[in-house]
């Protein structure tokens, strides 16, 4: 249907659209996709011709209905494959991105539906990111960052905001994964770092503000 390059571009536009309102700039896309600005301009012209995006020179680009549908589906495929790779093949959460990046471009829709069923219709990927369903609807996830939690609060880790292998491996070393429960013991005013106590292990550890901004959490008392 569409080429891998086009699909990657649609996905990048979707990602940047979610960061902030309004059109996405050529430069931001170029940075996101690790390409030069002229290459992006060219790609946007093509996407525009195919009615996947509306592109105005010197203004920016936005996805059309169809473009949004395609991009959402890509995210769905990417994250389902990530679940497969970790859950079934035993890969670590810092190893799966590149492979999923390739797997997501395999088109056959029936393949994805079967994979989804095989995996038990997961709602979140190994990093806690929501997986849109076949109709393109996204499950909701708490958007609170650990860095904004008040002292004394108890929370559960529900996702990461920084997907870099370096951060994920650091979390592994600290023994922090999805579902980890912790209490914020103290927040250091000086550098905004936080001292937390892991509820399962009882250990205490320090997290820099940068690390704390990398974790999505939900209050522990709440519902689930």
Partner DNA sequence: AAAATTTTTTAGCCCAAACTAAAACTTGAG
Partner DNA sequence: CTCAAGTTTTAGTTTGGGCTAAAAAATTTT
Q: Which of 37, 111, 134, 192 binds a second copy (CB under 8 A)?
A: 111
Binding to a second copy in span 65-94, by CB under 8 A: 85, 88-91
Q: Two tokens at 57?
A: 């020179």
> From the list a second copy, DNA, none, which binds 57 (C-beta under 5 to 8 Å, kind-based)?
DNA
Stretch of 109-117, 130-138, 142-150, 155-163 lying at the interface with a second copy (CB under 8 A): 109-117
> From the list DNA, a second copy, none, which binds 44 (C-beta under 5 to 8 Å, kind-based)?
DNA
39 binds DNA per the rule CB under 7 A = yes
**Measured distance CA(154)–CA(114) in Å, rounded:** 38
Query: How many other C-beta atoms can be found within 10 angstroms of the C-beta atom of residue 35?
Result: 17
Residues 6 or more apart whose CB falls under 8 angstroms from that of 11 comprise 71, 74, 75, 78
219 binds a second copy per the rule CB under 8 A = no
Stretch of 51-59, 96-104, 177-185, 214-222 lying at the interface with DNA (CB under 7 A): 51-59
CB of 54 to DNA, least distance (A): 12
Q: Which of 12, 14, 16, 26 binds DNA (CB under 7 A)?
A: 26
Q: Check: CB of residue 54 under 8 Å from CB of residue 48.
A: yes
What is the pattern of x (binds a second copy, CB under 8 A) and - over residues 89-108? xxx------xx--xx--xxx
CB of 7 to a second copy, least distance (A): 13
Burial (CB count within 10 angstroms: exposed 0-12, middle 13-18, buried 19+), residue 185: middle
Q: Angle 4-19/65-83 helices, nearest 10 degrees?
A: 100
Q: Check: CB of residue 67 under 8 Å from CB of residue 48.
A: no
Q: How many residues bind a second copy (CB under 8 A)?
A: 17
Cα-Cα-Cα-Cα dihedral of 82, 17, 19, 25, to 10°?
120
46 binds DNA per the rule CB under 7 A = yes
Cα-Cα-Cα-Cα dihedral of 6, 10, 13, 19, to 10°?
-140
User: Which residue number, 59 or 118, has a Cβ lying nearer to a second copy?
Assistant: 118
Residues 6 or more apart whose CB falls under 8 angstroms from that of 179 comprise 156, 157, 158
Footprint on this chain of DNA (rule: CB under 7 A): 3-6, 25-28, 30, 34-46, 55, 57-60
Which residues are near a second copy by CB under 8 A?
Answer: 85, 88-91, 98-99, 102-103, 106-108, 110-111, 114-115, 118
């Amino acid at each position: 249907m569409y080429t891998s390059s086009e699909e990657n571009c649609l996905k990048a536009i979707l990602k940047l659209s979610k960061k902030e309102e309004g059109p996405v700039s050529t430069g931001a896309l170029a940075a996101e996709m690790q390409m030069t600005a002229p290459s992006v301009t060219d790609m946007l012209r093509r996407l525009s011709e195919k009615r996947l995006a509306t592109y105005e020179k010197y203004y920016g680009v936005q996805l059309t209905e169809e473009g949004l549908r395609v991009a959402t589906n890509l995210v769905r495929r990417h994250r389902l494959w990530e679940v497969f790779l970790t859950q079934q093949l035993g890969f670590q959460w810092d190893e799966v991105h590149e492979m999923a990046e390739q797997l997501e471009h395999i088109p056959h829709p029936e393949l994805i539906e079967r994979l989804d069923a095989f995996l038990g219709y997961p709602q979140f990927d190994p990093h806690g990111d929501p997986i849109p369903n076949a109709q393109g609807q996204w499950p909701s996830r708490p958007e609170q960052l650990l860095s904004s939690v008040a002292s004394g609060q108890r929370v559960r880790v529900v996702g990461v905001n920084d997907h870099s292998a370096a951060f994920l491996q650091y979390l592994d070393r600290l023994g922090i994964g999805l579902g980890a429960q912790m209490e914020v013991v103290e927040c250091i005013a000086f550098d905004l770092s936080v001292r937390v106590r892991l509820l399962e292990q009882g250990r205490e550890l320090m997290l820099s503000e940068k690390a704390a901004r990398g974790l999505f959490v939900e209050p522990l008392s709440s519902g689930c």
